[in-house]
Structure 1
């Protein structure tokens, strides 16, 4: 499966699975990164470390290590 970090700018993708556990999983679920949610990649930061996503009308930035835990 592809990871969220592989998505391109302006691409809309659907979340298939969360690989995170513990507090990181709870945080992602609270922010709207749930199975079946559609999100758009808005912008990638310098060195592709931070990426801005539009999730259910809210802009949320994730670090690349967090985005690696989301399958699309």
Structure 2
């Protein structure tokens, strides 16, 4: 069982830290897009860098750097590693 104290949204993940995907809190086309990008349960995601304005944020997902808006990253729950 996951430690509930370590579960946050992907948008809250500090720079250069990693987390494991626990759940995606949306459906429809947005959920399909996340799945197509390789964001599935148990995927390890690392916050690589934040843009100067704070939005978007670059994440390393399965060896690929993908930028997500904060509003999108808030829909992904992770467990901090």
- Pair member with larger Rg: 2
In 1, Cα distance between equivalents of 2:9 and 2:56: 15
The number of residue pairs the alignment matches comes to 72
What is the distance in 1 between the residues matched to 2:26 and 2:51? 22
Please give the TM-score of this superposition, normalised by the length of structure 2.
0.84
Runs of 4+ in 1 over 4 A off after TM superposition: none
* Alignment root-mean-square deviation, CA: 0.8
Runs of 5+ consecutive residues of structure 1 not aligned to the other structure: none
Structure holding more helix per residue: 1
In the alignment, structure 2 segments of 5+ residues that lack a partner are 1-6
Answering whether residue 42 of structure 2 is matched by residue 36 of structure 1, we say yes
